[in-house]
Chains A and B, each alone.
Chain A
Amino acid sequence: MSAIVIRQGLVVGEDGPQVTDVLIVDDRIAEVGVSIEAPSGAHEVDARDCWVGPGFVDLHTHLREPGREAAETIESGARAGALGGYCALVAMPNTEPALDCVALVSYVLERGARTPLDVAVAGAITVGREGEALAPLAEMAALGVRLFTDDGIGVQDPLVMRRALAYAKPLGVRLAQHCEDERLASGGTMNEGALSGQLGLLGRPAIAEELMVMRDIELVRVTGAPLHFLHLSTGRSLDMVRAARAEGLPVTFEVAPHHFTLDESACATYDPVFKVHPPLRSADDLEAIRGALRSGHVDAVATDHAPHAPELKDLAFDEAPAGMLGLEHAASLTYEALGPSPDPATFFAVLSRGPARIAQLRQDDDRVRHSAHGASMVAGEDANITVFDPASRWMVDRHALASRSMNTPYDGRSMSGRVRTTIAKGRLIVDQGVLR
């Protein structure tokens, strides 16, 4: 029997935050209450002035295994995730080869099971992510896959997408889409606008994303199947999905931290660390996303953690691969963006509860192999818990990250708030900001 007691943190339960203790015995929350008497040998975690809530769930991580282990492995990604407060990661299928069949999904699930975290897999929608033939969604669902996406690219053909939605609906799984029309975005490397024209860089226009968002909302309307929009990056995309959601359509969306902290002006240095798809957008889009985050209208913050071997980001801007790291600083950036008086409930909603619902990893979901996430912080729930210290200040050092790669756009930037403790399935895996 192992026990951990978390003392006097602001526990963010579904009835509202209160300062109280949390006792964890083995892999469950045993008790939540004031001045808990802990069993002898229990590890004490001092959570005074900290927020205590359900461990974070990342809907969107690129673990690069199989195929690009130089950039990241499932193991190193899990370490990065743990330091960032994540107890569950959904691994994206754009590996080499793509995760479009039982054999490859099993491979990742098994390797993920060796880490202290829950590593879930998002399977590909189409074979090879080529956007033509449907992948065996049912077989993958039997392994526990609940999210499917061709991420890296969206399903370009509307007929294929319609069929995929129709097929997914009775399976009870959810499709997720990287919305960008490839022809309109065609080879662009940054947001299309006055700046791209001035810098001589081909642009990816906002309408490349917005037209696909529009299309897929209508396909959801016609099929009734749920759809999750990955990394929405423009104010208009957000408006459209929110309106659809308000109508009652089964749509959800996530935003990535880089889209609520950076805008296209960062690309003026031609530093490929700022190259990402969809690209960093205008200052107005940035404000729109921050506004939606603060007002509680965002379903999930997802990191889109995209490691790349250092030599690849040393190339010219148009040659370098797109993507930035995210796991280790998403929580701090979310905290900052929720300011000036960040609401802890919103914090855990976007980082944990919202994603847990979308990934179907909650207590009541049919999880096959994973533990439950997005806890309401009551006795009996699986102990996936994160302790976040809002007062802590730290600086990002790209050489000191747990990730194998270094492509963070925040190198040298100071951060407000930091994950102090991460408890996954009842095991203390990060304490005092350090991996155990």
Chain B
Amino acid sequence: MGSEDERKARTRDLTFSAKSQLMDAEDVKRALWRMAHEIVERNHSLEALSVIGLQTGGTSIASALASILSEVSGEPVKAGLLDVSFYRDDLSRNPIPASSATDIDHDLTDRTVVLVDDVLFTGRTVRGALNALSDWGRPRAVQLAVLVDRGHRELPIRPDYVGKNLPTSLDEAIVATLEGVWIGTKERS
């Protein structure tokens, strides 16, 4: 894993130790290409589309997805970053993450927003993202693209576009980046 990814894995005083690698960079690339085509198929026109990556795990994936979509459609696709830290409903139970930048340079009203994240788990991050999005206008529709769905949903949230479905147990951890996908454990460092 790259050092950037290691740093992200090291959030919340936890260190990730990989047990096995399930996808390599090529696998990820193919998955993203497939997802991009699914997005085009479902949405026809990309003009009213906004690809919004969720901080911090979804940003590079969103960026990659947006550039593939631009290539496919021949036109630049609007993109942005959304930090969800202040919208989480579990602030008192979980450690508050370091906040990072939200960068959305256009009004989302009447647009179709594709939220992009690395791993879909309990669904609380996405729920926070939906709360946050309402401060940015009123999108016509919101769709969800994730690189990995690992199950264990606590809320009625389902992804529209999935790179890979990976059933996991609660004590396992997943790291999913453009470099690959690993399954392992997270321990207090």
Do A and B have CB atoms closer than 8 angstroms in the complex?
no
* Interface positions of B (Cβ within 8 A of A): none
Chain A interface residues (CB < 8 Å from chain B): none
